[in-house]
Amino acid sequence: MKKILLSLILIASLKANVDINASIENKASLIKEYQEMFQKISQKRVGLDDSELSLVKPPFVKMVKKGGAKSAKKKQVFFLEAIFGDRVMINGKWYKLYQNIDNYKIVSIKGDSVFLKGNEIKLKLTLRKKNANITIK
């Protein structure tokens, strides 16, 4: 029994010694690898000279508005002031159904709202509360 116990202790200590040696060798190889990295990093790097640098295009994308100067114009604002049958008053002027207002066309008149359709935009104009109580004498 003592022999078995002693052999187990001996095997365990040998195993521990082998693990320690492997760990030391592993650490040594890591240290060597890091030293090589630091040596490469510490070498002087040569960049571009001024003439080469001036030829490089900027990496940023320029955003350009479609339509150029036309898109800089102020957006048209429409105020629906009154509805009377198939006629509407927008910005103080009377229009009929299917009539054009700037780049828009009156396509529908319903209750207290009017729908305008442009090239890619559809607008809904509604009467404001203060105009909703218009009486005709």
Pick the residue with more confidence: 67 or 131?
67
User: What pLDDT score was predicted for residue 30?
Assistant: 86
| Average pLDDT rounded to a whole number, residues 23-49 | 84
User: What pLDDT score was predicted for residue 106?
Assistant: 94
Output the CA torsion 125→130→135→137 (10° steps): -110
Domain boundaries, the chain: 1-39, 75-132
pLDDT above 70 for 68:
no
Residue 93 pLDDT grade (very low, low, confident, very high; cuts 50, 70, 90): very high
pLDDT in tens, 38-59: 888 888 877 878 888 888 887 7
- Nearest 5°: phi and psi at 19? -60, -40
